[in-house]
A and B are shown apart, each in its own frame.
Chain A
Amino acid sequence: MNTVIAVPSLRRTTAHAAVLARRNLMSSIRRPDVLLLSTIQPIVFMLMFLYVFGGAIEFALPGAANGDYVNWLVPGILAQFAVFGASATAFGLNDDRTSGVLDRFRSLPMARSAVLAGRTTADLMRAAVILLLQLAVGILLGFRWQNGVLGLIAGVGLALAFCYACTWITATLGMVVRSTEAIQAAVYMVVFPLTLVSSVFLPTQTMPGWLQAFAEHQPITAIADALRGLMLGAGALPPGQTVAGQAMVALAWIGGITAICVPLAVRAYRRAAT
C-alpha cells in the first residue's frame, strides 16, 4: 500500500528545499502589509542616515567617495541590510515551531536539512529583492560606482553571500530562543552595536583607539570595506588595504560563519522539541 521509499538523497533534499522555499515565499507574498513595511524600512533607514549624517561627515571621507556621503553609505548600508534581512529566518522558523508546522515536517520522511535550506533560501531571495531596491534608490540619490559594472555586481554578490551566511546564524537563534520578543531583543542587541561600531556609517578612524580596534576586526566592517573596495575601488579603503585582500577577508568571514553555523543550526533543529 505504501509507495514512498524514504531515502533522503541529495536530489530529494534539494527538491524538498525548493518546495519549502516556494511555500515560504508564497506565504510572505500573501502578507502584503508585512512585505511592504519590511521593504520600506531599510530604505527609510538609508535615507535617514544619509540626511542626518551626510552633511557632518563629508570632510572625513576618503577620496574615492568623491566627497559624497551617499557613495560611502550605500555599500555600508548594503552590508548592514545583509544582516538585518537575515534575521527574518529566526522569526520564520520560530513561527513554524510555535504553530506546530515544524513538528509536522519532522514527522515526514524528508531530510532534516531541507527545512532549513528551504527557509534560508526563501529569506535570501526576499533579501535580494530588497537589497537591489535599496541599491536602486541609492543610485537615484546619487550613488555612483567607480569600479566598473563588474565590481558592482561582485559587490552585490558578496553582500548576498554574507546575507546567506547570516541566515544560518539566525536560523540557529530561531531554534534556540523560544519567543518572538526574545529573538527581537537578541537581533537588536547584536545587530545595532555591531553595525554602529563598524565602518558602515562612518570611517573607523574617527573612533577612539579601543573601539577602533574592535570595529576594524569584526565581520560587518570586513564586508562593508570589501563592498566599498569592489564598488568604489582601492581609494575607498583604509591605507595599505587592497580590493582583493579585503574581498578575501570578507570571503573568509562568510566561509567561517557558514562552516560553523550550518551544523549548529541543523543540530538545533534536530533537538528542537516544542
Chain B
Amino acid sequence: MAEPIIEVDGLVKVFRGNVRALDGLSLQVEQGIVYGLLGPNGAGKTTLIRVLTTLLAADAGSASVAGIDLNADPQAVRSRIGLAGQFAAVDDYLTGRENVELVGRLYGFSRRDARQRAATVLERIGMLDVADRQVKTYSGGMRRRIDLAASLVGSPQVLFLDEPTTGIDPASRRSLWELIRHLLDDGTTIVLTTQYLDEADQLADRIAVIDHGRLVSEGTTADLKNRVGGTVLDLSVSQADRPNALAVLEEAVVGGVTVDPGRDTIVLPASDGVTTLYDVLGRLDRARITPTDVALHRPTLDDVFLALTGSVPGNEAAAGAAVGAGTDRETGADR
C-alpha cells in the first residue's frame, strides 16, 4: 500500500456516562479510494468522522489526515478536507448557490473564485438549473446534493460523507452513488459511513466494519463477502427440533451455521443458492423436521456481523422485530 492518506492509531473517545464511542480504533486509508465505514446505530461511525474532521478531540490515540497530525495542525487539516455531515447542513432561506458560495468564501476563496467554483460544482452535481431556488423548496435528495456540493467547493483531498444517502429514495440514491464514484476521477479520497451493506458494496473499495467503537473486520468488499457467503438461508424450526436440525445442517453445509439469538433463527450460508435450499430441505425432510419458516436472501449487515462476530448488534431491537421476520427479510436485503 502506498503512503496512506489517513492513519488512525488507537483512537479512544469516551463520552459522559462512560460511553466508549471509540475504543482503540486503528485503520489506514489508501489515497484515491472510497473507504466505507460500516456499522449499526451507535457503532461510533459519526464519532470517528467528527474526530477526523477536527470537530471532536479524541481522548487517546492519534490520527493524521493528508499527512498532517490532527493535534499538531488542525487548521491545515481543515483546508484539505470536505465534510457532509449526517444531516444536511444548509441554510433553508438561502438559495442552493448562495449556500455553496458561502462555504467557498469560508474556505478562503475570493468572491469571484467562490462564485466560479460554486457554478462548477453545481453543474457537476446536476443542480445548476435549480441552484437559484431557496433550499427550503428542495426535496430531501436535493438538500443532500447541495450539502455535497458545499463539501466539494474547496476541492478537498479527502471528503468525509456521513450517511450520504440516508432518507433518500432508491432512484436518487443510485444517482448519488454514481456521483460519488465520479469524484474519484480527480484523485479525491472518500470516507463514507453507512448502515447498509448494499451501499458499502456498491460504493466502497474497502470496508471497515465497526461495532462498539472497535474494528470488527476490514478488507475489500470481496473479502467481506467471501467471509459471509453469497447468499444466506434463514431457517426457523420448533424448539424441540432445534438440536436435531442443527446436527443435520452442520452436515449439509460444513461450518458457518449460526443461531441468531435475537430472531431465534438458524442462519447458514447457502453458497449454491436454490440448490442449497433444496438440499437442506430434503435433508430436514428425511430427518422428519418441518421448518416453520424459510427465507433465502442476500446477506444483510446482520449476517455480516453474525458471520464475523457470532452475534448481532442491538439484539434487543432485533428480538422485538422477530415476530413475522421471515417474510420481510428478503426486502430487508436491499433496504
User: What 0/1 readout, one digit per residue, does chain B (88-106) give for beta carbons within 8 Å of chain A?
Assistant: 1111011000100011011
CB–CB B98/A19 < 8 A: no
Closest residue of chain A to B105, judged by CB? A19
CB–CB B106/A110 < 8 A: yes
With the chains together, A105 CA to B107 CA distance in Å? 10
Among B76-84, B120-128, B170-178, B194-202, the stretch that binds chain A is B76-84
Q: How far is the CB of A18 from chain B (nearest CB, A)?
A: 9
CB–CB A107/B134 < 8 A: no
CB–CB B81/A107 < 8 A: yes
Q: How far is the CB of B280 from chain A (nearest CB, A)?
A: 48
Among B49-57, B218-226, B239-247, the stretch that binds chain A is B49-57
CB–CB A273/B76 < 8 A: no
Q: How far is the CB of B6 from chain A (nearest CB, A)?
A: 15
User: What 0/1 readout, one digit per residue, does chain A (15-32) give for beta carbons within 8 Å of chain B?
Assistant: 010011001001110110
CB–CB B79/A26 < 8 A: no
B85 / chain A contacts, CB cutoff of 8 Å? 100, 103-104
Q: Could you write out 7 A-B pairs with CB less than 8 Å apart? A: A8-B75, A23-B98, A27-B91, A99-B89, A107-B53, A109-B78, A110-B108
Known: A23-B91, A99-B89, A101-B91. A108 touches B55 (CB 8 A): no
Closest residue of chain B to A98, judged by CB? B87
CB–CB A99/B87 < 8 A: yes
Is B193 interfacial (CB 8 A cutoff)? no
Tell me the dominant secondary structure on chain A's binding face. loop
A2 / chain B contacts, CB cutoff of 8 Å? 79-80, 155, 157
B89 / chain A contacts, CB cutoff of 8 Å? 99-101, 103-104
CB–CB B107/A108 < 8 A: yes
A140 / chain B contacts, CB cutoff of 8 Å? none
User: Which of B78, B88, B105, B155 makes the CB contact (< 8 A) with A6?
Assistant: B78
Tell me the dominant secondary structure on chain B's binding face. loop
With the chains together, A100 CA to B89 CA distance in Å? 5
Residues of B that sit less than 8 Å from A by CB = 50, 53-56, 75-76, 78-81, 83, 85-91, 93-94, 98, 102-103, 105-109, 134, 150-151, 154-155, 157, 187
With the chains together, A153 CA to B89 CA distance in Å? 41
User: Which of B55, B76, B150 makes the CB contact (< 8 A) with A106?
Assistant: B55
B54 / chain A contacts, CB cutoff of 8 Å? 106-107
B151 / chain A contacts, CB cutoff of 8 Å? 104
Is A267 interfacial (CB 8 A cutoff)? no
* A-B contact number at CB 8 A: 94
Q: How far is the CB of A9 from chain B (nearest CB, A)?
A: 11
User: Which of A8, A20, A106, A109 makes the CB contact (< 8 A) with B107?
Assistant: A109
Closest residue of chain B to A118, judged by CB? B106
Q: A6-B108, A100-B86, A103-B89 are in contact. List 5 more A-B contacts (CB 8 A).
A: A4-B107, A4-B154, A5-B108, A105-B106, A109-B79
With the chains together, A110 CA to B104 CA distance in Å? 11
B50 / chain A contacts, CB cutoff of 8 Å? 103, 273
Interface size range on A against B: 20 to 34
With the chains together, A145 CA to B238 CA distance in Å? 91
B94 / chain A contacts, CB cutoff of 8 Å? 23, 26-27, 30
With the chains together, A6 CA to B150 CA distance in Å? 18
Known: A4-B109, A104-B103. A27 touches B93 (CB 8 A): yes
With the chains together, A100 CA to B107 CA distance in Å? 17
CB–CB A16/B154 < 8 A: no
Is A37 interfacial (CB 8 A cutoff)? no
Closest 10 CB pairs of A and B: A100-B89, A109-B79, A30-B93, A109-B78, A6-B79, A6-B75, A104-B89, A4-B79, A107-B83, A27-B93
Is A1 interfacial (CB 8 A cutoff)? yes
CB–CB B55/A103 < 8 A: yes
CB–CB B75/A19 < 8 A: no
CB–CB A107/B107 < 8 A: no
CB–CB B55/A273 < 8 A: yes
With the chains together, A158 CA to B150 CA distance in Å? 40
A7 / chain B contacts, CB cutoff of 8 Å? 75
User: What 0/1 readout, one digit per residue, does chain A (143-161) give for beta carbons within 8 Å of chain B?
Assistant: 0000000000000000000
With the chains together, A224 CA to B90 CA distance in Å? 40
A30 / chain B contacts, CB cutoff of 8 Å? 93-94, 134
Closest residue of chain A to B108, judged by CB? A4
Residue among B79, B88, B151, B187 with the most chain A CB within 10 A?
A: B79
With the chains together, A93 CA to B103 CA distance in Å? 17
With the chains together, A169 CA to B80 CA distance in Å? 34
Q: How far is the CB of A115 from chain B (nearest CB, A)?
A: 9
With the chains together, A8 CA to B55 CA distance in Å? 17
A101 / chain B contacts, CB cutoff of 8 Å? 89-91
CB–CB A100/B87 < 8 A: yes
CB–CB A26/B98 < 8 A: yes
With the chains together, A74 CA to B108 CA distance in Å? 44
Q: How far is the CB of B36 from chain A (nearest CB, A)?
A: 20
Closest residue of chain A to B109, judged by CB? A4
